C-alpha cells in the first residue's frame, strides 16, 4: 500500500488547521453576541438533536474501527482505525457532557435527524431516515457481522467501504450542525468534525483503490 502513515497524518493536520481557522473566526464573532447569562439550548433544538444523533453515529464508527484493528496487520489501516476510534470516542464524551450541562436527557422521543429538517440541504422537513429506519451512513447488523467474520485484505476492504459511507453521512450531519446550532462551541465542534471526516474520506478512498 503506497499511502503511508505520513501522508495520512499530513492530511489530518491540514484538515485540523483549516478547522482551527474557522473555529477562531466563529468564537471571535460569538464573543460579541453572548451575554453574561446565556440560555441553554432547548430539548428540541438543533444543538440537542445533533449531540444525541452524532453520539449514536459515532458509536458505530468506534465499533467498526475496533473490529478492524483486530482483523488486519496493515499498519496504516490500524492507525486510521485507532485515530477514528479515539477521536470519535472523545467527541462522544464531549456531546454527552453538553447534554448533561444543559439539563437535557441523552435520548429523545423525537425522530432521529428531525433537527436537520431546517438545514440548507434538507429544507423540505421530510423524513431523513432510511427505509430500514437507520440514520444515513449506518452499517446494518449484517454488514457488521461480515466485518467481524472477515480478516486481512477482506476485512480492510469491508471496513474502508463501510467507513467511507459512514463518514459521508457523518460529514453531512456535522455540516448541518455547524449551520443550525445556537451554541458557538457546538458549531465549532461540528465544523471540525465535518472537515476532518471529509479529509479522511479522501484518504480512505485512495487506500480502497489500492487494495
Residue with cell 453576541: 33
d(CA 50, CA 52): 6
Domains of the chain are: 5-27+44-210 (1.20.1260.10)
Which carries the bigger pLDDT value, residue 141 or residue 37? 141
Task: List Cα–Cα distances, 130 to 29, 125, 177, in angstroms.
Answer: 37, 15, 19
Cα angle 203, 131, 96; round to 5? 60
pLDDT grade, residue 18 (50/70/90)? low
CB 210, CB 1: distance < 8 Å: yes
State residue 149's pLDDT score: 98
Percentage of the chain exceeding pLDDT 90: 70
State residue 21's pLDDT score: 52
* Chain segment 166-181, per-residue pLDDT in tens: 999 999 999 999 999 9
State residue 110's pLDDT score: 87
* Chain segment 56-93, per-residue pLDDT in tens: 999 999 999 999 999 999 999 999 999 999 999 999 99
Whether the predicted pLDDT of 52 surpasses 60: yes
Cell of 177: 450542525
- In this structure, how many other beta carbons lie within 10 angstroms of the beta carbon of residue 186? 23
* Chain segment 87-143, per-residue pLDDT in tens: 999 999 999 999 999 999 999 998 899 999 877 666 454 567 888 889 999 999 999
- pTM: predicted TM-score of the whole model, two decimal places: 0.80
Nearest to 173 by CA among 52, 67, 14: 52
Amino acid at each position: 500500500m503506497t499511502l503511508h502513515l505520513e501522508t495520512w497524518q499530513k492530511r489530518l493536520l491540514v484538515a485540523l488547521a483549516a478547522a482551527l481557522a474557522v473555529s477562531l473566526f466563529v468564537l471571535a464573532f460569538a464573543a460579541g453576541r453572548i451575554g453574561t447569562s446565556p440560555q441553554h439550548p432547548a430539548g428540541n433544538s438543533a444543538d440537542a438533536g445533533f449531540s444525541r444523533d452524532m453520539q449514536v453515529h459515532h458509536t458505530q464508527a468506534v465499533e467498526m474501527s475496533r473490529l478492524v484493528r483486530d482483523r488486519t496487520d496493515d499498519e496504516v489501516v490500524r492507525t486510521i482505525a485507532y485515530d477514528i476510534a479515539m477521536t470519535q470516542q472523545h467527541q462522544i464524551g464531549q456531546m454527552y457532557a453538553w447534554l448533561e450541562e444543559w439539563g437535557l436527557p441523552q435520548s429523545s422521543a423525537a425522530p432521529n435527524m428531525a433537527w436537520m429538517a431546517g438545514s440548507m440541504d434538507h429544507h423540505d422537513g421530510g423524513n431523513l431516515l432510511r427505509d430500514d429506519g437507520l440514520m444515513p451512513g449506518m452499517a446494518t447488523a449484517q454488514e457488521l457481522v461480515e466485518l467481524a467474520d472477515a480478516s486481512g485484505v477482506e476485512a480492510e476492504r469491508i471496513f474502508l467501504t463501510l467507513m467511507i459511507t459512514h463518514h459521508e453521512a457523518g460529514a453531512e450531519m456535522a455540516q448541518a450542525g455547524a449551520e443550525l446550532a445556537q451554541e458557538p462551541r457546538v458549531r465549532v465542534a461540528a465544523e471540525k468534525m465535518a472537515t476532518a471526516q471529509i479529509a479522511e474520506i479522501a484518504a480512505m478512498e485512495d487506500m480502497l483503490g489500492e487494495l
